[in-house]
Structure 1
Amino acid sequence: MPDSFVTGIDQQTQEQMCEELNARLAQGIDLRLAVKQAHWNLRGRGFIGVHELLDEVSARLGEGTDMMAERVALMGGFARGTTQVVAEKSGLDPYPVELTDIEDHISELVSRFKVYGKAVRESMDAADEAGDEDTADLLTEVSRMVEKDTWFIGANAAT
């Protein structure tokens, strides 16, 4: 393992946090790809607004995964974000690649965002219990972004 630049947290805790963060990294990358899949293929009333929103959401997911990957690296771990690792470790349902209807995309995305949001909160709790306040804080920030984006996407659903 490379050098750790974190002080005040034992190696075992750092390794545990690297596992948690890598699990969320895989899911976050998978979710970001699902967002882009929807962005490229959705059609229907409100297209341009949802299309542009999904670009913004994708960028925020990228920020969150980048923060998690960098935290792993500074704790002396290896960020594991290749497509092969993501496919193996994400745990999110595969995104349907032949959808076009905006409502269907919104439903599929909101469902996945909720799964991811719950997992981020569970990792946040694990970091808190392990005494790694910095990782818990980072995951809190990611959780806030994910919940807000879940709302932004879900609010586009027809009522």
Structure 2
Amino acid sequence: MAKLHKTRNDLGANAKKASVEVLNATLVDTIDLTNAVRMAHWTVKGPQFIGLHELFGGFYDALGKTTDDIAERCVQLGGTPEGTTQAIGAGTRIAPYPADLTDGLAHVAALAERYAALAATVRAGIDTTDEAGDADTADLLTGLSRQLDKNLWMLEAHLA
């Protein structure tokens, strides 16, 4: 964990440290998921092409805004966001995305696995930040959790 920068934010030092750690882990995973969704958006083929292409485009647009919110919250607490390509590759907890997928439903299944994995770690992060006394970060993560669950539902509906 890098040293925190000075800030006038009155949240306690332990809460800031816990939240910055959770935020950076979540940032890394969310950027990795965003890249997986982009890969699916770019390479999807098959009879459901246009519907999935548009669905995936909406997913990565939403994830892009979310990563910005996560990174900015990290800075607000005195942290430094870990958003470099090297940090993503070294720190992601998301399974590598298969680069050879083209089939629409194969992409849907691969993304559903990754959405579910990120949702689980985000829920753990909600608990960690809430227990540390950082209700604002817990709230940010709660919003992300809802977004992930909704998108997972949409993916799973294609697999039913």
Provide the TM-score with structure 2 as the length reference: 0.94
- State the match for 1:2 in structure 2: 5
Query: In the alignment, is residue 81 of structure 1 matched against residue 83 of structure 2?
Result: yes
- Paired residue secondary structure (1:155): helix
Cα shift readout 1:45-94 (whole Å, capped 9, x = no counterpart): 11101100101100111111111100000111101111100001111111
- State the match for 2:151 in structure 1: 149
- Give the Cα separation in 2 of the matches to 1:70 and 1:2: 14
- Cα drift, residue 156 of structure 1: 2.0
Q: Do 2:37 and 2:56's aligned partners in 1 also have CA atoms closer than 8 Å? A: yes
- Give the Cα separation in 1 of the matches to 2:7 and 2:70: 15
Among candidates 44, 54, 57, match of residue 55 of structure 1:
57
Among candidates 129, 133, 136, match of residue 135 of structure 2:
133
- Give the Cα separation in 2 of the matches to 1:5 and 1:121: 28
Q: Do 1:41 and 1:100's aligned partners in 2 also have CA atoms closer than 8 Å? A: yes
- Give the Cα separation in 2 of the matches to 1:70 and 1:98: 34
Q: Do 1:73 and 1:79's aligned partners in 2 also have CA atoms closer than 8 Å? A: yes
- Give the Cα separation in 1 of the matches to 2:155 and 2:47: 14
- Give the Cα separation in 2 of the matches to 1:15 and 1:21: 10
Cα shift readout 1:125-148 (whole Å, capped 9, x = no counterpart): 101111110010010011111111
Alignment of 1:100-111 (within 5 A): 100-111=102-113
Aligned residues: 157
Letter of the 1:37 counterpart? M
Letter of the 2:7 counterpart? S
Structure 2: runs of 5 or more not aligned: none
- State the match for 1:29 in structure 2: 31
- Cα drift, residue 4 of structure 1: 2.1
Letter of the 1:35 counterpart? V
Provide the TM-score with structure 1 as the length reference: 0.95
Cα shift readout 1:84-142 (whole Å, capped 9, x = no counterpart): 00001111111000111111111100000000000000000101111110010010011
Structure 1: runs of 5 or more not aligned: none
